[in-house]
Amino acid sequence: MTSAATSTSSTSPTETAIHSTEVGDSGARVVFLHGLFGQGRNFTQVAKALRPEFRSLLVDLPNHGRSEWTERFGYAETADLVAEHLRAGFAADGPVHVVGHSMGGKTAMQLALRHPDLVDRLVVVDISPVPSGGTGEFEHLLDSLAGLDLDAIERRSDADERLADPIPDERVRGFLLQNLRSADGGFHWQPNLALLRRDLPDIGGWPEIDARFDHPVLWLAGERSPYVRPEHEDAMRALFPRTRLATIKGAGHWVHSEQPEAFISALRVFLGAAAS
């Protein structure tokens, strides 16, 4: 059986187009929502590994990837935009599974709470429904990217060299440079860096919501990450009473890239149970 990888975009009534890519052409439907600085294609290898039992939609969240920019950031607003995109296509025939990491995990939680008819099973990856705090590292990364003189860049390697001092971790630098695009003889950043920097407190925050999602939820934590803590459990279970917490050994915050086999296995077991 062949599998498809197709790209689509939809425009909501608020005129914000969301770009997404489908991977696979059969099986249960799964939506992936990435974190800050990410884009849907970060989950490409995971989506391919889930075939043929699962068909995946890799979403570029607003202000990231090939999706359009907004005037402000808010989790409720972002979840509503994703809901509109799903209703127009991938979830038109009924609820889908949703997997969200970090910022995408908070968006996924808001999506499930605000639009429960769209979500069957939910997977929240290394984030909690509480203010995250500790945004200093992200401030530094955003400032470093925004401070890069793109007019002085002739090739991608130039950008990598100039960012080596403020961002010495080669893996982090490589991940961030996936957002650098060349066009019309120059380079530009795909993410809306100015908005993300201005609204970083909101990205690190969590909006209060009076709702509950009563479907099964898998809460995946990285063993070496600080974003899921015992003191967060009460908040999580108040909103998602059917939560199952699992810790991925050897993983930090980037669970899906640091321990992909364990991550994929956890998804297969949890999402596969919906069909049994």
Catalytic residues: 102, 253
Assign 19 to helix, strand or coil.
strand
Sequence-ordered alpha helix ranges (H) in the chain? 44-50, 75-87, 103-114, 136-146, 156-163, 170-177, 193-198, 200-204, 233-239, 255-258, 260-272
Q: Among 178, 191, 134, 135, which Cα is nearest to 43's?
A: 178
**Residues whose CB falls within 8 Å of the CB of residue 263, separated by 6 or more in sequence, listed in order:** 46, 125, 220, 248, 251, 255, 256
Q: CA dist 61 to 7, 36, 69, 147, 192, Å? A: 14, 9, 9, 23, 11
